[in-house]
Amino acid sequence: MRKYDPVKLAPAFKDYLWGGERLKTEFHKNTDMTPLAESWELSAHKDGQSVVTTGDYAGLPLTDYVNTLGREALGTACEKYDYFPLLIKLIDAKGDLSVQVHPSDEYALTHEGEYGKTEMWYILDCEEGAALYYGFARDTTREEYEAAIKEGRLTDILNRVPVKRGDVFFIPAGTVHAIGAGILICEIQQNSNTTYRVYDYNRRDKSGNLRPLHVEKALAVSDLKKSPALPEIPDGADVLLAECGYFEVRRLRFAGEGSVTATAESFTALTVTEGEGTLVYDGGELDFAKGDTLFIPARENVFAVKGNCEMILSRAK
């Protein structure tokens, strides 16, 4: 194996109370954890790291693997970061998630000691009638927001959006949001685990305690403007889903054969959301199937893809 060959990753798992079983039954996640809420596919975060499973570096956590390769493996776009910049998750929301908001870099670094969290969601699948909350239904004042939280009617002033497979939501830091029951999501985000819970339907944890809220911090960071219109996502073999100062995300579809171009600007992460196939490169092949995530170190290169599949391609910016 050469130093910059692609590798496959094994995820870290999370058993949050709202999770289900679909990541195990449909995305081939091998764990006894029940429920299985999240699969951290590409993660160098202290709260759960993915691990290399193929090649000479098999068994190394992602942080150790990158340190072994050297910072150049992240690409020139990542030179401005002093940490691994992205985190990719698969999320199975059997139940409703809490209404929450994430802080900006400036606020999070001051109050939490880590960076903020801008993210995007790609809807992999959903039950009929499933919906989520995305920002506010109209411009809202802090007083209205605070009163709605105190009176347990926050969802009345939020923008409730019915979802369908293939929808995309870009969620800048400060956007109040909540994934609804019956939705399966691929999430690409900044490498942060800071979440301010605003409303939680009065649910209790495994010990019977109400889960803590973070109302004052949420009030400080929330964007109170009406949520923007959602983008129309075209059909196609290579479609841009989201782009911002932190990441670029594309959906790739292959019918028999095709290619993926790697760059020197950023590493490339490929999360397989449908089908199976083989990534072919000079010196080897790497088989993949639905639920797998591949990591390609930064370097100008072209990889052949054989198979019928859909992938989410993510790069740092």
SS3 state of residue 145? helix
Instruction: Please give the pLDDT value at position 283.
Output: 81
The per-residue pLDDT for 36 is 98
Report the C-alpha gap between 127 and 124 in whole angstroms: 11
CA distance linking residue 254 with residue 312, whole number of Å = 12
What are the backbone angles phi and psi of residue 57, rounded to the nearest 5°? -100, 10
**pTM flag (> 0.95):** yes
DSSP tally for the chain: helices H, then strands E: 5, 21
- Domain ranges, ordered by start, for the chain: 7-221, 238-316
Rounded average pLDDT per 10-residue block, the chain, 317 residues? 91 97 97 97 98 97 97 96 96 98 97 96 98 98 97 97 97 98 98 97 86 96 96 94 98 98 98 98 94 98 97 98
Q: Measured between alpha carbons, how far is residue 132 from residues 169, 183, 233 in Å?
A: 10, 9, 18
Please indicate whether residue 250 is annotated as part of the active site. Answer: no
- Tokens standing for 194? 């800071």
Are residues 298 and 265 in contact, defined by beta-carbon separation less than 8 angstroms? yes
DSSP string, 35-53: SB-EEEEE-EETTEE-EE-
CATH of 7-221, one of 2.30.29.30, 1.20.140.10, 2.60.120.10, 2.102.10.10: 2.60.120.10
In this prediction, residue 3 carries a pLDDT of 86
98: number of Cβ within 10 Å: 19
Cα gap 214→74, rounded to integer Å: 34
Under DSSP, the state recorded for 225 is S
Helix (H) or strand (E) holding 6: none
What pLDDT, on a 0 to 100 scale, did the predictor assign at position 65? 97
pLDDT given at position 154? 97
Long-range contacts of 102-105 (CB under 8 A, 24+ apart): 102/171, 102/173, 102/174, 102/175, 102/192, 102/194, 102/195, 102/196, 102/221, 103/173, 103/174, 103/194, 103/196, 103/217, 103/221, 104/173, 104/174, 104/221, 105/173
What is the pLDDT, as a whole number, of residue 22? 98
The pLDDT, as a whole number, for residue 162 is 98
Q: Give the Cα separation of 234 and 283 in Å (integer).
A: 35
Q: How far apart are the first and last CA of the chain?
A: 28
pLDDT value of residue 208: 86
Instruction: Kindly name the residue from 22, 197, 251, 315 that is annotated as catalytic.
Output: 197
| 238-316 CATH pick, 3.90.226.10, 2.60.120.10, 3.40.640.10, 2.40.160.50 | 2.60.120.10
CA–CA distance, 163 with 166 (Å, rounded to integer): 9
Amino acid at 213: L
Instruction: Please give the sequence-ordered ranges of beta strands (E in DSSP) within 43-85, or none if there are none.
Output: 44-45, 48-49, 51-52
Residues found in the chain: 317
* Residue 243, both tokens: 């782009």
With beta carbons less than 8 A apart as the criterion, state whether 115 and 192 touch.
yes
Burial 123-133 (b: 16+ CB within 10 A, else e): bbbbeeebbbb
pLDDT the model gives residue 206: 81
Half-sphere exposure of 42 (CA within 13 A, CB side): 31
Judge whether 158 and 136 are in contact, CB under 8 Å. yes
